A and B are shown apart, each in its own frame.
Chain A
Amino acid sequence: MTGNKRMELVCPAGTPATLRAAVQAGADAVYCGFRDETNARNFPGLNFSAEELAAGIRFAHHHGKKVLVAINTFARAGNTDAWRRAADTAVRCRADAVIAADIAVLDHMAQNHPKTRLHLSVQAAAATPESIQFYAQAFGVRRVVLPRVLSVQEIGALNRAINVETEAFVFGGLCVMIEGRCYLSSYGAGKSPNLNGVCSPPEMVSYVEDKNGTAAKLADFTIDRYEPDEPAGYPTLCKGRFNAGGKTGYLFEDPVSLNAGSMLVSLKAAGVTALKIEGRQRGKGYVTEVVRAFRKAVDVAESGGDAVEIDSILASMSEGGRQTTGAYRKAWR
C-alpha cells in the first residue's frame, strides 16, 4: 500500500506516566501492553492494569492521539484465557487497535471484535506479500509491523504488492533473529519473548563486578565482560561476546541500536505508513527525548527536508552507545 498521508509516529509506553510523556512529546500513537505474559515486554513493574489502560486511552484521546495495545505473545495450548481476556479488555477500554501475532488471538479479535483495527505484530515475522495478504484476508489485518530484515528497496517493492499499511521500526533495540521464532533466550534461561513475554528474564540476569570490570550474566552464562568505563548492555545471547576459534568477539551481532532517523524520507518514499520507536522497557527520560527528536525529524521529512542531526542527538540513548541503520541500508545485496 502506498499513499501520500503523513507518516504516523508510534511510540512506546511501559507505564501510564510514560504514556503521558509520549503523548506530550509528540507521539501520534502510543503502544503498550497488559501487566502479564500476553505481551512481549513482560518485565517486573512494567505495563498496565485494565484501569490504567482505560485512563491512559482517555488521556490520549483527549489529546487527539491513539493507543495501540500489544497482545503479541503466543497463547499456550489449553490455557488461552489470559489472551482472550486481554483482547476483550483492550476493546472495552476503547483501544484504537490491537497488535497481535498469534493466529488464535487474531481469530478471536476477528470473530468477536471485528470493528477494532488489527495490526500484525513484528512477532509474526511476516515479510512477504503472500504471508501479509493471508493475514489480511483471514483476519482483516489493516497494518503489518515489518520485521527488521528488509532493505528500504524491499519495503518499497512489498508496499507495491500489498493493500495493507506498513509500520517500520526506526529507533531502539535491534532484534537480529527472526522475530517470533527465536528461542535463544529459552535455551539460556527457560523463558522466551514469544511465550513468556520476556527475552533474557531479569530474574536470570546479573551484573557481577570485580577488579577487572563487570561481567554480565544470563543464568549460568557469562554473556559479556566490560572494562570499567566501557559502555554496557543488557545481556541477550544474540549480542553476547564469546570466545570461539581462539578469538573473542560478537558471534551473532554487535550490541548496537537501530537509528533510522536519517532515512525517514526514504521510508516515506517506500510507502511506509507508520514509524515505530522501540523501548517499552525504557523510562520516561528516554521516551521523552527520543519521541521529541523524532517528532521534529518526521515533521522536517514531511516538509521535504532530511533530519540527519538526529543521529548525534540520540547517541547517548542507545544501548551499547552505538547505532546502525540495520538492514534498511543493506549494501551486500
Chain B
Amino acid sequence: MTKDDASLPGFIRRFLPSFSGQPLGPLLTISLRSLARRRPQAFERLGEHRKARFLIDPTDLPFAFSVVPDGPASIVRATGKTVSEPNDVIIRGPILMLLGILDGTLDGDALFFHRSISVSGRTEAVVALRNAIEDAELRPSDMLGIGGQLAHIADTGILGGLAFARRIAVGASVEQGHTHDR
C-alpha cells in the first residue's frame, strides 16, 4: 500500500466543508473530556506528554486538528492547514489511515516506516500517544459516549463504514493509477 492508496477520492473531497465555521473542535473537545471522565486510565499512559500539543493533519481534508490530550482538560481545535502556532508534534496522513490507527485497525509503526504517514517533532510524545491509543482500544462508541446495544450498533456501523471507505479509496487509487498508466 503506497501513501496515496487510502486518500479520499476526489469526488468525496468535493463534498467536504471548508475550514471556516467548523463545529468539530468544540464537539471533539466535549467528546474527549467525556472520555477522560469515563476512562481516566486511557490518558495515564501519556504521563507528562498529556500537555503536549499534537497537530493532526489529514492530508486529504481541508482542515487539521490541534489536540492537547490533557484528560478532563483536553482541548481539540479545528485549524487551517497553515501552521501558525508552535506544536510539539505534527502527524500527517490520509484521514482513513489516521482513523485506522485510532481504532487499532492499522499498525502506526508500519505506516510510518513505509512513509504512508509522516511524523515530526518530539518523538517521545508521539511514542507515548501511540502507546496510550494502542492500549485504550477505543471504539467509536467510546468517543460518542454511548453504551449498551446502541454502542454495538454504532461500532459495527462506523467501523464497517470505515473499512468500506478504505476499500473504496484504495479502489479509486488503483483506478486513478490505471488512468495515468494509459
Q: A214-B118, A231-B114, A284-B104 are in contact. Are A207 and B131 (CB under 8 A)?
A: no
Q: A15-B135, A231-B114, A286-B110 are in contact. Are A45 and B123 (CB under 8 A)?
A: no
CA distance A44 to B46 in the complex (A): 7
B134 touches A284 (CB 8 A): yes
Cβ 8 A contact of A283, one of B107, B120, B121, B125: B107
Cβ 8 A contact of B134, one of A17, A208, A319, A321: A17
Q: Does B124 contact A (CB under 8 A)?
A: yes
Q: Does A14 contact B (CB under 8 A)?
A: yes
Closest residue to A229 on the B side, CB-wise?
B115
CA distance A207 to B136 in the complex (A): 26
B121 touches A206 (CB 8 A): yes
CB-CB < 8 A to A14: which residues of B?
Answer: 131, 134
CA distance A209 to B106 in the complex (A): 24
B128 touches A283 (CB 8 A): no
Cβ 8 A contact of A231, one of B107, B115, B128, B135: B115
Indicate the size class of the contact surface on chain A: 35 or more
Interface digits, B91-113 against A, CB 8 Å rule (1 contact, 0 not)? 00000000000001111111011
Interface digits, A250-287 against B, CB 8 Å rule (1 contact, 0 not)? 00000000000000000000000000000001111110
CB-CB < 8 A to B61: which residues of A?
Answer: none
A321 touches B114 (CB 8 A): yes
Number of A-B contacts (CB under 8 A): 106
A203 touches B123 (CB 8 A): yes
Indicate the size class of the contact surface on chain B: 35 or more
Q: Does A294 contact B (CB under 8 A)?
A: no
Interface digits, B67-107 against A, CB 8 Å rule (1 contact, 0 not)? 00000000000000000000000000000000000001111
CB distance from B142 to the nearest CB of A (A): 13
Chain A residues 172-224 with CB under 8 Å of chain B are: 201-203, 205-209, 214
Q: Does A232 contact B (CB under 8 A)?
A: yes
CA distance A281 to B109 in the complex (A): 10
Q: Does A46 contact B (CB under 8 A)?
A: yes
CA distance A286 to B47 in the complex (A): 24
B129 touches A45 (CB 8 A): yes
The 3 tightest CB contacts between A and B, nearest first, are: A45-B131, A285-B107, A45-B128
CB-CB < 8 A to B106: which residues of A?
Answer: 285
CA distance A283 to B135 in the complex (A): 9
Cβ 8 A contact of A232, one of B47, B115, B130, B136: B115
Closest residue to B132 on the A side, CB-wise?
A45
Cβ 8 A contact of B113, one of A46, A205, A233, A284: A233
Closest residue to B129 on the A side, CB-wise?
A45
CB-CB < 8 A to B127: which residues of A?
Answer: 43-46, 202, 281
Further 10 A-B residue pairs, CB within 8 A, beyond A209-B118, A286-B107? A14-B134, A15-B134, A45-B131, A203-B122, A207-B119, A208-B120, A283-B108, A286-B109, A319-B113, A321-B113
